Amino acid sequence: MEIYDVAIIPLIVGITELFKMLGLPTKFAAVAAVISGVVIGIVYVAPGDIAKGIFVGLSLGLAASGLYSGVKNTVEGVKGE
């Protein structure tokens, strides 16, 4: 994985938001982010090495769900003030 592949994280957040707009319940957003990350990891990041793709994909998906959660909590905190 190259350092510029970290730009995949916002892409996963966007994909997760798209799934939510299509009717995915919010409580499954983190699962959708991890699954999206694994798919992108296997298909794009490490197409020749499934184990590496799964590992990197899990990392990307978990980072994306953390980014999503952090932004959501920040926005809710700002609105609450």
**Which pTM was predicted?**
0.80
pLDDT tens-digit readout, 23-67: 999 889 889 999 999 999 999 999 999 999 999 999 999 999 887
Whether the CB-CB separation of 38 and 59 falls below 8 Å is answered with no
Q: 55-63: long-range contacts at Cβ-Cβ below 8 A with a sequence spacing of 24 or more?
A: 56/1, 58/34, 60/5, 60/8, 60/9, 60/12, 61/12, 61/33, 61/34, 61/35, 61/36, 61/37, 62/33, 62/34, 62/37, 63/9, 63/37
pLDDT of residue 69: 74
pLDDT of residue 34: 93
Provide the residue ranges of all domains of the chain, joining segments of one domain with +: 30-74
pLDDT band at 1; cut points 50, 70, 90: low
